[in-house]
Amino acid sequence: MGALDFDIHGGMSSLTGKRSILAINTIIAIKGMPPQKAQKHYNRVPLTNRTLFRRDQNVCGYCGEHFKSKSLTRDHIHPVSKGGPNIWTNVVTACAPCNKRKSDLLLDHIDMSLVYVPYVPNRAEWLILQNRKILADQMTFLLKSVPEESRLLS
Ligand SMILES: [Zn+2]
């Protein structure tokens, strides 16, 4: 029995004279997908500067330096002014000087490149990025669902 389990005691067996025990994990995952209607909302991971900076661990996507959140900006890799969407895979954390230097130019046209690849956090990562109070056993559970390429694991 692991540290995450707790026991539910049942009645005595008239055959064996022993008490029945059910060992239950403190977290129960439900198999299967949520109903179609709920799925769209469930899988949607909101893009905010807070969660973006956390995804990128406060590291500028262009110079690779680490900054405090207040010095960081959201950079659209393919600029919004040139039709770039405001989605997880088109945004990186950028320090103010790098964002200014990149301006609204395309990476192909300037001498700048990304030091990491933007990705869409999954639901488990998002819960972690939200920085809610997560119990240690819940964190262990969530990390099992975080993809291997996630920076949360580095
Ligand atoms: Zn930078």
What is the average per-residue pLDDT within 62-84?
95
Ligand 1 centroid to 50 CA: how many Å? Answer: 17
Please tell me the predicted confidence (pLDDT) of residue 13: 84
Q: How many CA atoms lie within 13 A of 11 on its CB side?
A: 3
Query: Is the sign of the CA dihedral 101, 107, 112, 115 positive or negative?
Result: positive
Three-state SS at 51: helix
- The mean pLDDT of 75-103, rounded to a whole number, is 95
Q: How confident is residue 133, by pLDDT bands cut at 50, 70 and 90?
A: low
Q: Has this prediction a pTM greater than 0.85?
A: no
- Ligand 1 center from residue 91 Cα (angstroms): 14
Overall average pLDDT of the 62-66 stretch: 94
Give residue 129's pLDDT band: very low, low, confident or very high (50, 70, 90). Answer: confident
Distance 61 CA to ligand 1 centre (A): 7
Measured in Å, residue 97 CA sits from the centre of ligand 1 at 6
pLDDT at position 144 is 76
